[in-house]
Homo-oligomer: A and B are copies of this chain.
Amino acid sequence: MLTKRQLLILKVTVDDYIQSAQPVGSNQLSKKPEIPFSPATIRNEMAELERIGFLEKTHTSSGRIPSQKGYRYYVDYLLTPRPLPKEDIVQLRSIFEERLTETEEVIKRSAMMLSELTNYTSILLGPDVRRHIVKKLSIVPLTSDTAVAIIVTDTGHVENRIFPIPLGLDPSDIEKMTNILNERLVGVSLNNLHLRLEQETLTVLKQHLERYGELFHTFRQAVLSPHEDENVYYGGKLNILKQPDFHDLQKIRNLMDVMEEAKHIPMILPVGSQGLHIRIGSENTLTAMEDCSVITVSYDAGEEQTGSIAIIGPKRMDYKRIVSILDLLSGDLSKELNRMFKGT
């Protein structure tokens, strides 16, 4: 479809615009060593590229900027993933040199490192807690009428919730209940906890505990209400403010709002999908993000769990670099997390 020359001009135009944030003119382009054509030729080709819909003008006599379609073509066909500079690799891998013991810590550090390395905003989603498996349950009485329920999972994740207990309850009852719960629920995933709780566990409890009713009810409620957004980690939330593309305060507000709001996270980070994805401008579902591009990638968090990473930047994002960084990190992160769970 496109001639070789058109491809070259498109590529160089996008590259230049990504780098400079200024509309690209024919004269400017003709001065580049990789472009051996005269400005006039370039103008002709640019006019054609505009007709096809890959380039746009900001006004009648301005240089060209890539259109959304242009970015899409660039990303799909013209992206030559240049290897990362060594110092970036070293810096990125420094995350794993601290030998952190907790998954959360590693993911948190990764989020920070990503934002630092890219100057964009990063969002990391940890592996789904609900698929973790119960390792131990305990109930610790706090006052005469409250206790805290603690669930430890196989990954070392600890969930805890305070719940009310009936007044005048015998401490031995709590112990009894704890024992029964442990017998019945260890090995069950958090996901299946409520099912199990209501089925067999309940009947067993009935047999052994007189006043199981109230205690069980409140315990169940406490354990099942999830703490949301617990495993979403951000890096460089303020990096948007660095981008010259964003100057409209209202838009910045909307964007930051959307990013922090937990309920929008699934729209930004498609939980199920594997591999690397790039969404450009209005390809994003959220209108607040129509001026952004989002690159997402999944990683393997051990135990058949996956997490995901998103980098959010302007459409004029350094795709080449970000893709390289995400490729590297997703691989390294998978390796590290698997190493951490190796002993399970």
Contact = CB atoms under 8 A, between A and B. Distances in A.
Given A150-B150, A253-B242, A257-B238, A142 B156 contact: yes
A163 interface: yes
Contacts of A341: 143
Contacts of A253: 238, 241-242
Contact of A156 (B136, B148, B156, B241): B148
Q: What is the copy number of this chain in the assembly? A: 2
A152 interface: yes
A146 B339 CA distance: 12
A242 to B, nearest CB: 7
A160 B158 contact: yes
A148 B143 contact: no
Interface in A106-161: 135-136, 138, 140, 142-146, 148, 150, 152, 154-156, 158, 160-161
Contacts of A247: 249
Nearest to A147: B156
A145 to B, nearest CB: 5
A23 interface: no
B152 A162 contact: no
A102 B146 CA distance: 10
Nearest to A163: B101
Contacts of A143: 341-344
Contacts of A342: 143
A242 B138 CA distance: 46
A150 B257 CA distance: 35
A265 interface: no
Contact of A140 (B146, B148, B152): B152
A156 to B, nearest CB: 4
A80 B344 CA distance: 65
Contacts of A238: 253, 256-257, 260
Given A135-B140, A249-B247, A146 B150 contact: no
A140 B150 CA distance: 12
Contacts of A152: 140, 148, 150, 160
Interface of A: 101-102, 135-136, 138, 140, 142-146, 148, 150, 152, 154-156, 158, 160-164, 222, 237-238, 241-242, 247, 249, 252-253, 256-257, 260, 341-344
The 6 closest A-B pairs by CB, nearest first: A143-B343, A158-B160, A101-B162, A156-B162, A148-B156, A241-B253
